Structure 1
Amino acid sequence: MSEGQSVLFDVPGPRTRRRNRIIGVVGGALILALLAGLVWGLREQLAPRKWQPFADATTWTAYLLPGLLATLRAAVISVLASSAIGLLLGMGRLSHVKAISWLCGLVVEFFRSVPVLMMMVFSYYAYLSTGLFSGDVLSLMGVVTGLTVYNSCVMAELVRAGVHGLPAGQLEAGQAIGLTHSQVLRSIQLPQAISAMLPSLVSQLVIILKDTALGYMITYPELLRAAQYIDAVYGNLVVGFLIVAVIFYILNWSLTRLAHMLEARLRSRRIAPARIVGPGAPLDEVEIS
């Protein structure tokens, strides 16, 4: 490959670069104009008096903080349940027993195709009709059930893709030393697959956190419903949604940063360099950092 070419396309010449700069400047100006027009159209909703209620501690203690705690409660329960069930479903899909693999595949493919909101509403009214849950727990379990059923199927596919992405020789090597297929899967392949698929798994956890907002459809008092309560009192729906959007951004950014730190730590452990103490040192003097 010549120096003037990249992998996907030729390096642009002076005329193309000049045209791209013009397009970038014009496009940026149009975006700024649209944003300015949007802010101007919402100038009444963004007036200082609309922001004033958020300077009052009562707005946070009575609405936003309870909504935040409800959001985190549903997300944490759903993450734990989805991770456990997704791992089991993923192992089931990888099972060499055809009946188990086929049944787990049927469950995963079906529930991945059903919208999360539909499963939340169905679970809510199913619990309501059977009397299994009531009160505040009813809407919480509706949200958790919908999120868990859908996201566990997605995580099962991530686990399966991670295992299939490993070198095939690992299974053969494990069986060569006397391990069964299930033992190789549990002790060798799954730890590597989960580590390799960690960014995708964390992205799914972020989706779970955001999808808790769908709980307002079944009266779950999460952040979005808290913003609606604030609007009913102060009439500042746009500002309330902006504040809630910033809170969601901070939560998701923090979760993503935590995942990157965990991924870097796992990578450093997996690829730990060997340091020889001295020239010609025997094997027992090799130190692994």
Structure 2
Amino acid sequence: MSAPTAVLFDAPGPRARRRTLVASVVAGLVLAVVLVLVALRLAERGQFDAELWAPLVDPSDENFPAVWRRIGEGLVVTLRAAAIAVVLSVVIGLVLAAARLSLGRYGRVPLVAVVELLRGLPVIVTILYVDVLMRALGIYRDSETTLVIALTLYNSVIISEVVRAGILSLPRGQVEAGLAVGLTRGQVMRLVQLPQAVRAMLPALISQLVVILKDTALASIVLSQIDDLGRVADQLRGFLDNPLQTYFVIGLIYIAINLLLEQLAKLVQRRLGGGSRRGRTPAVAPGGPVDGSADATGRATSTRF
């Protein structure tokens, strides 16, 4: 059997592979040299001195307990705001996607206008506008509530577009089959289309949830009364006079949380994929067909129980 022919690109030959290898080695060496030069420059300026890192990494330092207590408090605020925004964004996003597909051509115009408006605004502008609007309406509560509302407004429309794309990618025959067996359009959307769309678009949805977590850091820039992880980092670097070290540790915390979310996404995807494979009944089992299909001679067989 002949090897499959490349369609999108030609397989590189020996000379092209050698050039790629040489370019990769040169790029790696250049990057290593740059990192060494940066490290030497930082060492000259005393950025590796123990007293700058001790409050963050040395439990024997007198400031270590207070520093990590403040980091823990900021982390709680960040995770709480992100978790609430995630739940609200997913729920509202599913409702928006279903409503946009269910409404008629003219009925969906206001909804489309709102979606396009919120999609076009930068997240930081949305946070500022929500803060100003809530104060003008006299319903301002606190900065954390403002952050949750702003993140929900922005990310719910993004999630709705992701889910809508997943629904539109499904075969139209599923809708017709659902209507043929007596389901309403709302039931077809809820029972047939939405579960498949969410499952198909799960990687994109998880990526958007990670974006929500990272967007919480914008609160420390535009909101003055929130003690999230970003604001705590600002306070600590001013108190300890070590901005490079403080932001480095805070950055590692964000990276660790995002890696955990990525592993969670992979676990959920494996569970869903494994569940679907386990849930399928084989067409032919040892001893003959078990699903009412035709046997090897073409004669119909009944299901065995």
The structure with more helix, counted as a fraction of residues? 1
* Number of equivalenced pairs: 281
AA matched with 1:108:
V
Query: What do residues 130-186 of structure 1 show as CA deviations (whole Å, max 9, x unaligned)?
Result: 33234xxx2112211211111000000011001011111101101111222222111
C-alpha distance in 2, partners of 1:189/1:14?
48
Match among 250, 258, 264 for residue 252 of structure 1:
258
C-alpha distance in 2, partners of 1:17/1:235?
49
C-alpha distance in 2, partners of 1:160/1:245?
34
Asked whether the equivalents of residues 123 and 142 of structure 1 are also in contact (C-alpha less than 8 Å), the reply is: yes
Paired position in structure 2 for 1:25: 25
Match among 104, 117, 142 for residue 111 of structure 2:
104
Match among 154, 157, 174 for residue 158 of structure 2:
154
Sequence identity, in percent?
A: 37
Asked whether the equivalents of residues 124 and 141 of structure 1 are also in contact (C-alpha less than 8 Å), the reply is: no
Paired position in structure 1 for 2:125: 118
Q: Which moved more, 1:48-57 or 1:145-154?
A: 48-57
Q: Structure 1: where are the runs of 5+ without partners? A: none
Query: What do residues 179-200 of structure 1 show as CA deviations (whole Å, max 9, x unaligned)?
Result: 2222211110001101111110
**Residues 1:212 and 2:213 aligned together:** no
Paired position in structure 2 for 1:45: 47
Q: Which has the larger radius of gyration?
A: 2
Assess, with a 3 A threshold, how the Cα gap between structure 1 residues 270 and 151 changes in structure 2: closer, same or farther.
same
C-alpha distance in 1, partners of 2:190/2:216?
32
**Residues 1:229 and 2:235 aligned together:** yes
Query: What do residues 8-47 of structure 1 show as CA deviations (whole Å, max 9, x unaligned)?
Result: 3222222222221111111111111222222233332332
AA matched with 2:248:
L
Asked whether the equivalents of residues 130 and 149 of structure 2 are also in contact (C-alpha less than 8 Å), the reply is: yes
For residues 67-78 of structure 1, the aligned pairs below 5 Å read 67-78=74-85
Please state whether the residue corresponding to 1:46 is helix, strand or coil: coil
Shift of 1:269: 2.1
**Residues 1:60 and 2:68 aligned together:** yes
Paired position in structure 2 for 1:170: 174
Please report the TM-score for the alignment, with normalisation by the length of structure 1: 0.91
C-alpha distance in 1, partners of 2:103/2:229?
44
Q: Which moved more, 1:139-148 or 1:262-271?
A: 262-271
Asked whether the equivalents of residues 175 and 181 of structure 1 are also in contact (C-alpha less than 8 Å), the reply is: yes
**Residues 1:141 and 2:149 aligned together:** no
Query: What do residues 95-115 of structure 1 show as CA deviations (whole Å, max 9, x unaligned)?
Result: 143344222211111100001
Asked whether the equivalents of residues 131 and 140 of structure 2 are also in contact (C-alpha less than 8 Å), the reply is: no
Assess, with a 3 A threshold, how the Cα gap between structure 1 residues 31 and 229 changes in structure 2: closer, same or farther.
same
C-alpha distance in 2, partners of 1:118/1:46?
38
